[in-house]
Amino acid sequence: MGNCLVAQSGGPTAVINATVAGVVQANHLNPIYDHVYGGLHGIEGILAEKLIDLTGLTDYQLQILKQTPASALGSCRYKLKRENTADFEKLFEIFDKYGIDTLFYTGGNDSMDTVAALSEYATEHGIKGHRFVGCPKTVDNDLMITDHCPGYGSAAKMLAAVVQQTWLDYNVYTRQEVFILETMGRDAGWLAASTELSGLVDLLILPETAFDADKFVARVKEIVTAKNKCYIVVSEGARYADGSYLSAGKAKNDGFAHAVLGGAGQALKNLIVESGAAQRAKVQDMSTLQRCAVISQSKTDVEESFKLGMSAHMRSMDPTFTGMMVAVKRPEGDTPYDPQFFAVEASKVANFVKHVPDEWILPDYAGVSQQCLDYMRPLIQGEPELVCNAGLPVYIHPFYL
Amino acid sequence: MGNCLVAQSGGPTAVINATVAGVVQANHLNPIYDHVYGGLHGIEGILAEKLIDLTGLTDYQLQILKQTPASALGSCRYKLKRENTADFEKLFEIFDKYGIDTLFYTGGNDSMDTVAALSEYATEHGIKGHRFVGCPKTVDNDLMITDHCPGYGSAAKMLAAVVQQTWLDYNVYTRQEVFILETMGRDAGWLAASTELSGLVDLLILPETAFDADKFVARVKEIVTAKNKCYIVVSEGARYADGSYLSAGKAKNDGFAHAVLGGAGQALKNLIVESGAAQRAKVQDMSTLQRCAVISQSKTDVEESFKLGMSAHMRSMDPTFTGMMVAVKRPEGDTPYDPQFFAVEASKVANFVKHVPDEWILPDYAGVSQQCLDYMRPLIQGEPELVCNAGLPVYIHPFYL
């Protein structure tokens, strides 16, 4: 019998570790692998042979892993380039050395490209007996084909609850107030859109719609005139018609040639104050917290992430199951929400971005359609029972430290 | 029989409404007042006769009120000045008109000054039959005499949990990382200090210690050199030896002549990057969210706030109970934490600030002493069962809207 390896890549989420827990749990139930190894810091750490043994994690440890945010195995932004054959050779050497039949790789579309590339390489070089399986995760919810991504539901629940709470706070004084909440999401507006689940947002600025400063300022003026308050949500990726980000002054690049965003809220504040639409505005940038907030995990999200890991493990019994991503499907019709899992070629997911559909976006920054709300609502349902100690959530100490 | 009036002032907290719920609940159990009125927007709204009737709130409504953050009755920053006798005359007119025997006023030290001033005015003018009772609340925990302030425990729990979660997140990559969390707290370091409950903070910058930029940068360099990471917490009120705030560039004043703070984290980031102590640093400013985060309420805190409201109501049966604040006392010795309540003259609390004691602050930004941790720990214990609907916490719609 062979072994398997699970590793994590890209930005963390509040439920990414639940997928790892699912793989380990499935192997408890049906030990098709002798060892479940964890690769530290994704492909980067695997290349450096940084592997640990997760096989013997107890049920209690798996439960705590499910409520541990961020990547317990560590993450990387290392891009496996097809032309860099030395990396591939090294990886297959390590797979052989550790008897690894299957690699489960959690991540976003770059990670799915890694899954596709490894699978293609094996085929092209006639290397048999390996399966490369992608497990989607991203708070941005921007992967194609899968109905949604594990990690999104918890971030969406966090953001919608934050809107409730800060809306209640910003209303308490009689004075004029403009509140601006900035969310992550890169070029997809899903995270910003999730705040509409609160029913309290006045203006929603998504990356999908070219930003028109005059129209925006006019709307702020109207709303402030009407009720002396205005609650605005903006996605970090919001941009003008020419493609430049609202936060343009601060843009830098990370290792993947992605723009490092942030500052859209401050840009809106400047617009508002300089135009005289309001005298002042407060910005709350949710920053890192929105993608690791275990205090508002969605139970639906955690359980999906866990089941997805189990499903990936179980499907990998099929020796031809490679280059695939396990995706989530939503039941059709009016049946209660009960997600199913299916397999899709990772290459069909890699390097694309799923946007909020135009037809779900209301004009004049008025938010999203009922259809969009109906899409998001099931994903934030339920509150897992959090194991706490001395007043704080218990977590698994990172395996890489 | 007469009536009573409860109102809220100053910045909101996650549990301030629990005190209101406690007053109403006590009056259900012993209806010494015909009506429990709520004054909207504090003294400012009472002056405008904006009163509503809270007497008939059901047990379920009180439960939801306890989990509703921010001031459900609205707040104000209106300062009742002793020389402005017209305000006092108007207030006593309104008290007479509505048959109000007792005013319960929740807030910080400015609110306690209001309680003291109203009581003094009544005595000086021979007005009998009124009680003015202060109920402390502030996330800043800066009130004298009371062991701590309701509202602090929940904010402290939120912040310590946020450190856990963002610490897990910032560690996942192998690259160098400096993370800076900025907390509220004005001139008192209690909120920033609470992050030490996580056990994960490398450097803690409190307002109580004059900030030394060279020493700070040297410490960052040492820590980054040692482990390639550095987690820093800074209080918004941190300042240099000459008294100027780290965030000085941005300081403005609110209506109370308090400095409007914020930006200390960014100031530290600039110091770090410009000095070359690290190449980059990420700032998370917790801003408004830390004082209204019902998703991480401390059960101990909610119940204390509720009981404090009940205690205030019950003590007000004594017709001489005026100009007093209900304070919290901690049991002595090694007994389990079980707070008691006692009364103190509001004038002894008003307009002072309780700081983190010097002897609790470790040198070189190394955090706080075990005694300080022992003081804070009981206040963050327990997680209330949150009533949710459609995936989000249920809240009471603000009474003032």
Residue-wise pLDDT tens digits, A187-198: 999 999 999 999
Q: Give the domain extent around B320.
A: 3-151+295-352+381-393
Hey, are the CB atoms on B287 and A289 less than 8 Å from each other?
A: no
Asked which of A256, A272, A294 is the last residue of a domain, the reply is A294
Which residue of B71, B75, B152, B173 to mutate against A (max A Cβ within 10 Å)? Answer: B173
Hey, are the CB atoms on A165 and B283 less than 8 Å from each other?
A: no
Distance CA A243, CA A189 (A): 15
Chain A residues in contact with B254 by the CB 8 A cut-off are: none
Residues A159 and A135 reside in one and the same domain: no
- Report CA A263 to chain centroid distance, whole Å: 20
pLDDT value, residue A241: 95
B152 interfaces chain A, CB cutoff of 8 Å = no
Residues B145 and B158 reside in one and the same domain: no
Asked which of A269, A294, A319 is the last residue of a domain, the reply is A294
Residues B187 and B288 reside in one and the same domain: yes
Check which CATH number belongs to the domain holding B128 and give it.
3.40.50.450
Hey, are the CB atoms on B165 and A69 less than 8 Å from each other?
A: yes
Edge-to-edge strands, sheet with B340-345: B51-53, B36-39, B3-8, B100-107, B131-136, B324-329, B340-345
Residues A286 and A302 reside in one and the same domain: no
Residues B252 and B288 reside in one and the same domain: yes
pLDDT value, residue A251: 40
Check which CATH number belongs to the domain holding A200 and give it.
3.40.50.460
Say how many CA atoms lie within 13 Å of A107 toward its Cβ: 31
Average confidence (pLDDT) over A214-241 = 97
Between A299-315 and A16-29, two packed helices, what is the crossing angle to 10 degrees? 50
The DSSP 8-state label assigned to residue B368 in this structure reads B
Tally of domains in chain B: 2
Query: Nearest Cα to A355, choosing from A179, A146, A117, A141?
Result: A141
Whether the CB-CB separation of A16 and A151 falls below 8 Å is answered with: yes
pLDDT value, residue A249: 53
Whether the CB-CB separation of B358 and A367 falls below 8 Å is answered with: no
Statement: residue A331 has pLDDT above 90: no
Residues A13 and A147 reside in one and the same domain: yes
Residue B177: strand, helix, or coil = strand
Residues B232 and B321 reside in one and the same domain: no
Backbone angles phi, psi at B126, to 5 degrees: 60, 30
Each residue's pLDDT tens digit, A106-150: 999 999 999 999 999 999 999 999 999 999 999 999 999 999 999
Using DSSP bridges, classify how beta strands A100-107 and A51-53 pair: parallel, antiparallel or unpaired: unpaired
Query: Nearest Cα to B85, choosing from B118, B123, B127, B51?
Result: B118
Matching residue, tokens 């706070």: A169
Asked which of A246, A265, A294 is the last residue of a domain, the reply is A294
pLDDT value, residue A253: 43
Hey, are the CB atoms on B165 and A289 less than 8 Å from each other?
A: yes
pLDDT value, residue A257: 42
Of A259-268, A392-401, B124-133, B213-222, the one with minimum mean pLDDT is A259-268
Helical segments of A242-369, H only: 264-275, 299-315
Using DSSP bridges, classify how beta strands A252-253 and A259-260 pair: parallel, antiparallel or unpaired: antiparallel
Residue B206: strand, helix, or coil = coil
Residues B43 and B138 reside in one and the same domain: yes
B362 belongs to a structural domain: no
Chain A residues in contact with B170 by the CB 8 A cut-off are: 288
Hey, are the CB atoms on A75 and B172 less than 8 Å from each other?
A: yes
pLDDT value, residue B318: 96
DSSP string, B52-95: EE-TT--HHHHHHHHT--S-TT--------TT-HHHHHHHHHHH
Question: Amino acid identity of B48?
Answer: A
Hey, are the CB atoms on B12 and A168 less than 8 Å from each other?
A: yes
Please name the member of B68, B70, B284 whose beta carbon is closest to the beta carbon of A287: B284
B164 interfaces chain A, CB cutoff of 8 Å = yes
Consecutive sets of 10 residues in chain B, 401 residues long: mean pLDDT of each?
94 96 98 98 97 98 98 94 96 98 96 97 96 97 96 98 97 97 96 98 98 98 98 97 81 45 88 96 95 94 98 97 97 85 96 95 98 97 96 97 94
A279 interfaces chain B, CB cutoff of 8 Å = no
Q: Positive or negative CA dihedral for A301, A303, A306, A311?
A: negative
Residues A99 and A42 reside in one and the same domain: yes
pLDDT value, residue B257: 43
B366 belongs to a structural domain: no
The pairs formed by B89-96 with CB atoms below 8 angstroms and a separation of 24 or more are B90/B47, B91/B43, B91/B46, B91/B47, B91/B118, B92/B121, B92/B122, B92/B127, B92/B130, B94/B46, B94/B47, B94/B49, B95/B5, B95/B130
Residues B139 and B176 reside in one and the same domain: no
Position A5 confidence tier, pLDDT thresholds 50, 70, 90: very high
B357 belongs to a structural domain: no
Task: Count other Cβ atoms within 10 Å, centred on residue B120.
Answer: 17
A235 interfaces chain B, CB cutoff of 8 Å = no
Query: Nearest Cα to A25, choosing from A59, A68, A51, A65?
Result: A59
Tokens of B39: 């004054």
**Residues of B that are catalytic:** 140
User: Complex ipTM, two decimals?
Assistant: 0.95
Beta strands in A68-120 (DSSP E): 100-107
pLDDT value, residue B253: 43
Residues B170 and B217 reside in one and the same domain: yes
- By C-alpha distance, the chain A residue nearest B69 is A165
Residues B280 and B335 reside in one and the same domain: no
Q: Find all residues with CB under 8 Å of B46, minimum gap 6, and list them.
A: B5, B7, B39, B40, B91, B94
Average confidence (pLDDT) over A76-89 = 94
Tally of residues, chain A: 401
Average confidence (pLDDT) over A280-288 = 95
Please name the member of B76, B293, B383 whose beta carbon is closest to the beta carbon of A386: B383
Tally of residues, chain B: 401
Task: Count other Cβ atoms within 10 Å, centred on residue A119.
Answer: 22
pLDDT value, residue B256: 44
**A41 to chain B nearest CA, in Å?**
7
Whether the CB-CB separation of B50 and B2 falls below 8 Å is answered with: no
Please name the member of B298, B391, B400 whose beta carbon is closest to the beta carbon of A391: B298
Using DSSP bridges, classify how beta strands B259-260 and A324-329 pair: parallel, antiparallel or unpaired: unpaired
Hey, are the CB atoms on A391 and B382 less than 8 Å from each other?
A: yes
B68 belongs to a structural domain: yes
Say how many CA atoms lie within 13 Å of B396 toward its Cβ: 29
A170 interfaces chain B, CB cutoff of 8 Å = yes
The DSSP 8-state label assigned to residue A390 in this structure reads T
Whether the CB-CB separation of B9 and B114 falls below 8 Å is answered with: yes
Whether the CB-CB separation of A310 and A23 falls below 8 Å is answered with: yes
Distance CA A237, CA A182 (A): 10
B399 belongs to a structural domain: no
Distance CA B67, CA A349 (A): 42
DSSP string, B114-173: HHHHHHHHHHHTT--S-EEEEEE--TT---SSSSS-TTHHHHHHHHHHHHHHHHHHHTSS
Distance CA B192, CA B224 (A): 21
Query: Nearest Cα to A125, choosing from A91, A80, A78?
Result: A91
A223 belongs to a structural domain: yes
In b/e form, how buried is each residue of A60-75, taking b as 16+ CB within 10 angstroms?
Answer: eebbbbbbbbbbbbbb
Hey, are the CB atoms on A284 and B283 less than 8 Å from each other?
A: no
B375 belongs to a structural domain: no
pLDDT value, residue A262: 63
A34 interfaces chain B, CB cutoff of 8 Å = no
Residue A203: strand, helix, or coil = strand
A240 belongs to a structural domain: yes
